[in-house]
Amino acid sequence: MDDLKERLLPPKPLSASGRPFQAVDVSGLKKRGQGLRSWIRVDSSGNSQVIEVDKFTMMRRCDLPARDLRLLDPLFVYPSTILGREKAIVVNLEQIRCIITADEVLLLNSLDTYVLQYVVELQRRLQTAGMGELWQSEGTDLNRSRGSRNYDNMFGNTSPDYLPFEFRALEVALETACTFLDSQAAELEIEAYPLLDELTSKISTLNLERARRLKSRLVALTRRVQKVRDEIEQLMDDDGDMAEMYLTEKKGRMESPLYGEQSILGYRSNDGTISVSAPVSPVSSPPDSRKLEKCLSIARSRHESMRSSDSNPESIEELEMLLEAYFVVIDSTLNKLTSLKEYIDDTEDFINIQLDNVRNQLIQFELLLTTATFVVAIFGVVAGIFGMNFEISFFEYPHAFKWVLIITGVTGALIFAGFLWFFKHRRLMPL
């Protein structure tokens, strides 16, 4: 484990006497809360291994601030983010939380299916790309010996196997995240449409509760898909951020002899003036000078990347095409969720119309029942009058009670018919 830590740590700076400085106490950092964390490392050849690195070592290794590593912490929930830094690309896309450099991918170790799928797919593509490059080099030598033309070089090779390593790793991360979100959207569609169709035919409390939970899941998934889409769109709109993500090109530029001369003699701007002086030794210089030199080096590298993107607009075309392809995929998933949400809204409107119709029918029935109750109350009034304790000559006729019932019934029917005509005239109920 100690040898592994030594390989992960950058080279130790030398003092003025040629002796290395004292190493940082990693165990002390662990005691202060910087515990080791398991990472899956995949190199450019497709080889993978599980390593344990503490947070401070990872910051030094990838030249990242602590806030960027906090985005990868599984204990916190952060929205999807793709950040281009000086020496790495920080990717936080759903389950895929990794750091991509020009030579390797450092992925948080997890037993999640999509994390393992990402590692397997990245290894397969890297190994396939290595075999393709070997085959192309042998074929190029053979064609050169025969004097034939290389049509791939003539028309340009746009295969994704010839992308830089960081873009291959980024493409697999985008593909895994888009596949995961699209599969969740498909599962939601399979569950939603039968439920909504059943809800339109039978409105019950159980179906309404299931529809409520379904809509909550839909809103949460739509928010996640929208965040990934906005992140890709934001990268596509900013040429500077895309140019910052060309890690292999920046690494080759920094390792080139021309870049070394510019670092020693100073960076010469477009007008021919030297804007950065020669670097000062970090051992003999005061802390302010070291801070100034660090700021100048960062500004110089960023200016180099911006100048390369401004001078050659086609340099970011391959990354832009890559992002645009997955932007179309995630936009299609968002359209599915939007269509499903519209279907849910239409179902809710239909249910509300049905409920309003039932409510109106109940009101009409109540109105008819109230009218019938009023007519029946007339019989109660007549019965009350004839039940009073007084004598009248009308009671002596044998058919008097029958005529009272007939007259009262006809009067009640006329009153009820009058109410119905009034309701129809006022359009209070369909008759």
Residue 378: its pLDDT value, please?
84
Structure tokens at 106: 């450092």
Question: In the beta sheet, which residues pair with residue 51?
Answer: 39
pLDDT at 330 over 90: yes
Q: What SS3 class is residue 89?
A: strand
pLDDT at 164 over 80: yes
Residue 148: its pLDDT value, please?
37
Question: In the beta sheet, which residues pair with residue 106?
Answer: 41, 99
Q: Which of 32-41, 218-227, 263-272 has the lowest mean pLDDT?
A: 263-272
Q: What is the mean pLDDT of residues 288-313?
A: 48
Q: Which residue has the higher pLDDT, 19 or 169?
A: 169
Q: Which residue has the higher pLDDT, 405 or 225?
A: 225
Phi, psi of 382, deg, nearest 5: -65, -45
Confidence of residue 130 (pLDDT cuts 50, 70, 90): low
Closest CA to 307 of 396, 240, 254, 356: 240
Q: What is the mean pLDDT of residues 347-360?
A: 90
CA angle 248, 249, 254 (to 5 degrees): 100
The pTM for the full model equals: 0.66
Q: Which residue has the higher pLDDT, 112 or 145?
A: 112
Structure tokens at 231: 């992140």
Q: Which residues contact 164 (CB under 8 A, 6 or more apart)?
A: 102, 246, 247, 248, 249
Binning the chain into helix, strand and coil, the percentages to the nearest 5 are 70, 10, 25
| Mean pLDDT, the chain, integer | 74
pLDDT in tens, 408-430: 888 888 988 888 888 888 877 77
Gap between the Cα atoms of 209 and 214, Å rounded: 9
Q: What is the mean pLDDT of residues 63-74?
A: 85
Residue 156: its pLDDT value, please?
37
Q: What is the mean pLDDT of residues 389-407?
A: 77
Confidence of residue 67 (pLDDT cuts 50, 70, 90): confident
